[in-house]
Amino acid sequence: MRATRWQMTGPGAPFAAAEFEPVAGADEVVVAVAGCGICHTDLGFYYDGVRTNHPLPLSLGHEISGWVVACGRGAESWQGRSVIVAAVIPCGECDACRRGREAICAQQKMPGNDLHGGFATHVVVPARGLCPVDVAGLAAVGLDLAGASVVADAVTTPYQAITQAGLGAGDFAIINGVGGVGGYCAQIAAAFGATVVAIDVNDDKLAALPDTAAALRINARGAAPRELKASIQTFAKARGLRDRSEWTIFECSGTRAGQETAFGLLNHGATLAVVGFTMDKVEVRLSNLMAFHARALGNWGCAPRLYPQALELVLTGRVRVAPFIERRPLEEIDAVFDAVHRGQFERRAVLVPGLPQS
Ligand SMILES: [Zn+2]
Ligand SMILES: [Zn+2]
Ligand with an atom nearest the CA of residue 154: 1
Ligand with an atom nearest the CA of residue 95: 2
The predicted-structure confidence for 148-196, as pLDDT tens digits, reads as follows: 999 999 999 999 999 999 999 999 999 999 988 999 999 999 999 999 9
Question: What is the pairing mode between strands 295-298 and 271-274?
Answer: parallel
On the question of a cis peptide bond just before residue 57, with omega within 30 degrees of 0, the verdict is yes
Q: How far is the CA of 98 from the centre of ligand 2 (A)?
A: 7
pLDDT at residue 356, rounded to an integer: 85
Q: How far is the CA of 278 from the centre of ligand 1 (A)?
A: 13
* Residue 24 banded pLDDT, cuts 50, 70, 90: very high
Q: How far is the CA of 161 from the centre of ligand 2 (A)?
A: 19
Q: How far is the CA of 324 from the centre of ligand 1 (A)?
A: 16
Ligand with an atom nearest the CA of residue 42: 1
Q: How far is the CA of 45 from the centre of ligand 2 (A)?
A: 24
pLDDT at residue 270, rounded to an integer: 98
The predicted-structure confidence for 210-266, as pLDDT tens digits, reads as follows: 999 999 999 999 888 899 999 999 999 999 999 999 999 999 999 999 999 999 999
Sign, CA dihedral 270-191-65-339, equals negative
Share of the chain above pLDDT 70, in %: 100
Residue 25 has pLDDT above 90, yes or no: yes
The predicted-structure confidence for 284-336, as pLDDT tens digits, reads as follows: 999 999 999 999 999 999 999 999 999 999 999 999 999 999 999 999 999 99
* Residue 358 banded pLDDT, cuts 50, 70, 90: low
Q: How far is the CA of 104 from the centre of ligand 2 (A)?
A: 8
**Region label for 343, one of left (φ > 0), alpha (ψ between -120 and 50) or beta (otherwise):** left
Q: How far is the CA of 41 from the centre of ligand 1 (A)?
A: 5
Distance CA 116, CA 143 (A): 26
Identify which of 230, 87, 67, 219 has the alpha carbon closest to the alpha carbon of residue 145. 67
Identify which of 199, 194, 197 has the alpha carbon closest to the alpha carbon of residue 166. 194
Ligand with an atom nearest the CA of residue 105: 2
The predicted-structure confidence for 93-150, as pLDDT tens digits, reads as follows: 999 999 999 999 999 999 999 999 999 999 999 999 999 999 999 999 999 999 999 9
Ligand with an atom nearest the CA of residue 97: 2
The predicted-structure confidence for 61-74, as pLDDT tens digits, reads as follows: 999 999 999 999 99
* Residues within 5 Å of ion ligand 1, judged at the Cβ atom: 39, 41, 153
Q: How far is the CA of 24 from the centre of ligand 2 (A)?
A: 21
- Residue 23 makes CB contacts below 8 A (sequence gap 6+) with 30, 70, 124
Residue 357 has pLDDT above 80, yes or no: no
Asked whether 51 and 150 are in contact (CB, 8 A), the reply is no
Please give the model's pTM, rounded to 2 decimal places.
0.96
pLDDT at residue 225, rounded to an integer: 87
Q: How far is the CA of 120 from the centre of ligand 1 (A)?
A: 16
pLDDT at residue 333, rounded to an integer: 98
